Chains A and B, each alone.
Chain A
Amino acid sequence: MAHSMPSVSWPAPSGDVRGQRHDIAAFEALFRTHYSQLCDYVYGYVRSRAVAQELVQDLFLRLWERALTPAGTLATSYLYTAARNRAVGHLRRERVAAAWAKSPSSVARAAPAGADEPLREHEVRDALERAVADLPERCRLIFTLSRYRSLSNAEIARMLCISVNTVEQQMWRALKTLRAKLAPYLQ
């Protein structure tokens, strides 16, 4: 099953990504500033919280080992590129593993019996997550930064080196797309 990844260009790094060697305070700051956003981003690919957390933690561990603490927009381009590579790598490994596994996964799909209300809630959540995950990559990133992380449009624009108008156009596009996808759940 071929699966082509959309390409996204990040602002070109304008300087050296090498930060101060093993400056734990700066490193912690970098981690805390970006952790949730990166988890959201990776989750959009892998759809598993545990895997998203693991991949993001691993990314920071490698940064530390290589004594890198990028700052500012450089951090954004570096971290998100690395995060996407890891997410894509993970999906590729998973596909290979799935191809090797003989039995189809249908056995595990027996619907759980009983209380239907929590189940419907689960169904809605699943639809919501899928709809967000299916947004075009950059659109999804902008939308999740705004919705989940409450960043202002100006902050998002600064972070991604784009204009506020572009952010707003993308937000509009995301909302329109989601409305179409989620129409059955809106009554």
Chain B
Amino acid sequence: MNEERDGPRIARYVAGRCTPDEAAEMRHWLAQNPARAELVNALVRVWELVRRVSVVWDVDGAWRALRRRLGPDHAFPLSRMERGTGGEARLRIWAVWQVAAVILVVCSMLTGVLVHRNRRSAVAPVREIATRRGQRATLRLPDGTRVDLGVASAIRYAPGYGGRARDVYLEGEAYFEVAPDPKKPFTVYAANAVTRDRGTKFGVSAYPGASQVEVVVVEGSVDLSGLVLGAADLGRLDRGGRLRIERGVDTAAWLGWRRDRLVFRNTPLRDALAQLGRWYDTDLQLGDSALGDYPLTASLHGEPLDKVLDLISAALNVRVVRRNSTILLYHRRPAP
């Protein structure tokens, strides 16, 4: 292997920065040599692992704090998006559990435009819209595509969105109603999954740390890693790139989060706890790692967290322990 030549393209491939053609060529190249494939596989694991220490900085909170220190005599609008600058995503965000609290903007880097006004050279920022734990958002992309963003999720798109293609990058959970435009393909990149729209409504779930990416199609069809999913199809792509398709699923249940419902269907407790943590903005952890594979089936609709924990502890025979702000689940053992 020639590092000068191959290093950069391996790095591009690992970081998901290459075109589909280049990726296909790369996979072919890797298939020819097991040692190469193993190296790249390890690098992909490193890449995924490091994501776990990525910090979500509270840009809004920091700006508010700084704003207070700048002095009171500079009136400024709460949000750039309230003024509806043309071409930007319009966005509505609300707290799932405090419906009254309407929060207009979470961390966003939408505002590079203003820097560009008196720029000397451009550093085009990536647009990012993110929700915190316990929050969801609805937004419209510049082309009119509707996006419902789930809790603790982020969607990014480059400033060139809608130019020749429509590419978005998702971390977390989202539902898309894509504005039809056959000339400009709409593509969702999420973890190792590439979902290409074929004129549809569909949902993608790809939380960091989850064992798989899930794509569920409500209407029309999408292309997921080369296979076509139709209405009521659920595709699950695991970390190793294996795709399983389940036909005729109840899409309303899979997308229940859009209607304030949290539905688990034989979900491993590990994943269910992570999702509950995001909904209730709480730190939930397994006290016994062996509990992680317990399958949980439940349909929740606005119950308080305590009630949910009662339900889980009864259903799975586990014990709930609160330690500071963390909630731990243990096997229920008979008293000694």
Contact = CB atoms under 8 A, between A and B. Distances in A.
Interface of A: 14-15, 19-20, 22, 24-26, 28-33, 35-36, 39-40, 43, 49, 53, 56-57, 60-61, 64, 71-76, 115, 117-118, 124-125, 128-129, 132, 146-153, 155, 158-159, 165, 168-169, 171-173, 175-176, 178-179, 182, 185-186
Interface string B17-35: 1000000000000000000
22 contacts: A24-B76, A25-B80, A31-B59, A32-B63, A32-B110, A36-B109, A43-B55, A61-B69, A71-B115, A71-B116, A71-B120, A117-B285, A118-B326, A125-B53, A132-B53, A150-B126, A150-B128, A152-B17, A158-B124, A168-B8, A171-B8, A175-B14
B100 interface: no
Interface of B: 3, 7-12, 14-15, 17, 42-43, 45-47, 49-55, 57, 59, 62-63, 65-66, 69-70, 74, 76, 80, 107-126, 128, 156, 158, 169, 285-289, 326, 328
B124 A155 contact: yes
A148 to B, nearest CB: 4
A169 B11 CA distance: 8
Contacts of A151: 126
Query: Secondary structure at chain A's binding surface: helix, strand, loop or mixed?
Result: helix
B125 A175 contact: no
Nearest to A129: B53
Contact of B118 (A20, A128, A153, A155): A20
Nearest to B70: A64
Contacts of B15: 146-147, 171
A56 B65 CA distance: 12
Nearest to A38: B57
A179 B46 CA distance: 6
Contacts of A169: 7-8, 11
Contacts of B123: 33, 72-73, 75-76, 155, 158-159
B158 A152 contact: yes
B115 A117 contact: no
Nearest to B120: A72
Given A19-B118, A117-B286, A128-B50, 4 more contacts: A28-B114, A29-B113, A117-B289, A172-B3
Given A28-B76, A115-B287, A132 B50 contact: yes
A8 B128 CA distance: 29
B319 to A, nearest CB: 12
Contacts of A14: 120
Contacts of B285: 115, 117-118
Which A-B residue pairs are the 9 nearest by beta carbons?
A168-B8, A172-B7, A171-B11, A29-B114, A29-B111, A172-B11, A148-B54, A72-B121, A36-B57
